[in-house]
Chains A and B, each alone.
Chain A
Amino acid sequence: ETGVTQTPRHLVMGMTNKKSLKCEQHLGHNAMYWYKQSAKKPLELMFVYNFKEQTENNSVPSRFSPECPNSSHLFLHLHTLQPEDSALYLCASSQEASNTEAFFGQGTRLTVV
């Protein structure tokens, strides 16, 4: 248990569906992140939120829409995805500017059919 919880663990969705991934951290951190892990590729940073404000969007397509209502919760809203978006989506949190560890959730395995 890392203190970062992601739901659901697995998700299968059609290309016309709308779904959301949820991440919650119980560590009192002020920064939260979404990463994408595709087969045979390094983890790719998608978004960074610091004190609920988005501070980084790594050229992510608009079919991925993040939301951070408070420092403990992070969502990733999905719509009209493509099969190549199938991947493991990982959420992480850290204490920005304190140079301490980042902690990751267990991930959501997304399959787009």
Chain B
Amino acid sequence: KQEVTQIPAALSVPEGENLVLNCSFTDSAIYNLQWFRQDPGKGLTSLLLIQSSQREQTSGRLNASLDKSSGRSTLYIAASQPGDSATYLCAVSSLSSSGSARQLTFGSGTQLTVLP
């Protein structure tokens, strides 16, 4: 059964700092890995998708890496801003336990606070 762990659970940084969020997963048989952002009480906004054959993806100040063999991904946020404050979720796409569908398995998230 796929399990996803995110470290740290919470992170508070001053504005302007570069930071790294970590994600690890137990089963390397994945289709892709997706990073999401969730604001309080809201749904999920997709940030980056990395295919299992890729090593990294970039979007603006965000860079995500994937090391499938070791079961790890990192999300790098450059020059953090107060508007980046949110919970960041990592999810891996893999075959469900029944083998009948793809599913996303989520970590518990990292709650990021960027202080002005």
Residues on A close to B: CB < 8 A? 2, 4, 6, 31, 33, 40-43, 45, 48, 50, 55-56, 58, 88, 90, 92, 94, 96-97, 99-107, 109
Contact = CB atoms under 8 A, between A and B. Distances in A.
Interface string B39-71: 001111110010100000000000000000000
Contact of A56 (B91, B103, B107): B103
A40 B36 CA distance: 17
A74 B69 CA distance: 36
Given A48-B102, A97-B102, A101-B49, 19 more contacts: A31-B102, A40-B108, A45-B103, A45-B104, A45-B105, A48-B101, A50-B101, A88-B41, A94-B102, A96-B101, A99-B32, A99-B93, A101-B46, A102-B34, A102-B46, A102-B93, A103-B46, A104-B45, A104-B46
Interface centre among B43, B49, B89 (most CB of A within 10 A): B43
Nearest to A40: B108
B101 A100 contact: no
Contacts of A40: 108
Contacts of B34: 101-102
B76 interface: no
Interface in B59-104: 89, 91, 93, 96, 98, 100-104
30 contacts: A6-B43, A31-B101, A40-B108, A41-B108, A42-B4, A42-B105, A42-B107, A42-B108, A42-B109, A45-B96, A45-B103, A45-B104, A48-B100, A55-B101, A56-B98, A56-B100, A56-B101, A58-B96, A88-B41, A90-B43, A90-B44, A92-B44, A99-B93, A101-B49, A102-B34, A102-B91, A102-B104, A104-B46, A107-B42, A109-B41
B25 interface: no
Nearest to B39: A106
Interface string B15-37: 00000000000000001101010
A23 B31 CA distance: 25
B43 A104 contact: yes
